[in-house]
Amino acid sequence: MTTAAPRELTRNQSLVLGALTQAEGPLSAYTILDRLRDEGFRAPLQVYRALDKLLASGLVHRLESLNAFIACAHPDCHGHGMIAFAICGDCGQVNEFTDDAIRERLGAWSAANDFQTEKTIVEIRGHCAACRAH
Amino acid sequence: MTTAAPRELTRNQSLVLGALTQAEGPLSAYTILDRLRDEGFRAPLQVYRALDKLLASGLVHRLESLNAFIACAHPDCHGHGMIAFAICGDCGQVNEFTDDAIRERLGAWSAANDFQTEKTIVEIRGHCAACRAH
DNA sequence: TCGCACACGTTATAGCATTACACAATGTAA
DNA sequence: TTACATTGTGTAATGCTATAACGTGTGCGA
């Protein structure tokens, strides 16, 4: 997997990335929009267009099971092929991690089935230790 | 992981399951609704309520990256903890499979991080062999 | 100067999911 | 039997997520 061009960010892209970086958890596109109204954002498309670029460059990840977005937890080493997320349904905290064995197994399945992988989604939903401690 | 109670299906649940079984690929809730209008379905909630039960019993799976649903490909052995899907972005075909190594690695991460897993999502998006052959 | 690529702004619309209220059928404990 | 809880159902309204289809402006290489 290769890292996308780290081209300079535009104003809108920087604002969206900033909103996600400041947030302590994932944000929906519409929540981002609300948080950037003071900066002049008026329409969802302004957010989605910025997100498209940020996703392509690996600076932001999409959580499919949440329809939400989060800043990459490893801002220096984006671009690896498989990223997994553990999502606590109680506090909303997200833990980002990678696992070479999982990546290898998914790669093996793709090879065995002649399937060309474009994106891999691994998300585990559950309850974190802190929340389970009541 | 334990299989949910295989209680008898109601009429609505049977109709929704039937629509998904007949379909050759995943269906959105609104597509199911359209296909069941002749059976008397009028509102999205009729579909979503039936889907809730079918998902809980393992007869149907939700594809998070597609916001769509598909009948379980192994109707006899539902209830296993991790199911992976390979989704072709061209033809829409979905391949369902399991992998003990992946399940084991995700379980190891959960144990190491004191995370109680409730649901695991593994989806790979890409292009199947048939579609890549033009 | 022309044409192209890209980012941006706005309005409208499409697609996915839930809330809220009302009613009927069933099972069960008092 | 009465009272209550549970479960499934029907309908309308609403909310959340994402994209289509316009048009504008700017920078840059041919």
Identify the bridge partners of residue A71 per DSSP, sorted by sequence position: A60
pLDDT at A80: 63
- Counting the structural domains of chain A, the total is 1
Give, for B105, the enclosing helix (H) or strand (E): helix B100-112
Partner residue facing B124 (CB), from A84, A110, A124? A110
* Cβ(A94)–Cβ(A110) below 8 Å: no
pLDDT at A34 over 70: yes
What are the E-state strand segments in A81-115?
84-88, 94-97
Question: Rounded distance, CA B86 to CA B25, Å?
Answer: 12
Same-domain pairing of B69 and B25: yes
* Cβ(A121)–Cβ(A103) below 8 Å: no
Tokens representing A125? 């939903």
Instruction: Note whether residue A4 is domain-resident.
Output: no
Residue after which a domain boundary falls, among B73, B104, B123: B73
Average pLDDT over residues A100-128: 97
Same-domain pairing of B69 and B84: no
pLDDT at A76: 73
Question: Rounded distance, CA B58 to CA B78, Å?
Answer: 5
pLDDT at A107 over 80: yes
Instruction: Note whether residue B39 is domain-resident.
Output: yes
* CB contact (8 A) between residue B116 and residue A106: no
Residue A47, min C-alpha distance to chain B (Å): 19
Instruction: Note whether residue B2 is domain-resident.
Output: no
Residues of chain B with pLDDT under 70: 1-7, 77-80
Size of interface A-B (CB pairs under 8 A): 118
* Interface residues on A facing B, Cβ-Cβ cutoff 8 A: 64-65, 84, 86, 88-89, 95, 97, 99, 101-102, 105-106, 109-110, 113-129, 132
Enclosing domain of residue B50: 7-73
pLDDT at B78: 61
pLDDT at A7 over 70: no
pLDDT at B116: 96
The overall average pLDDT reported for chain A is 92
Q: Which of A21-35, A74-88, A118-132, B7-21 has the lowest mean pLDDT?
A: A74-88
Rg of chain B on CA atoms, in Å: 16
pLDDT tens, position by position, B55-93 = 999 999 999 999 999 999 987 766 667 999 999 999 999
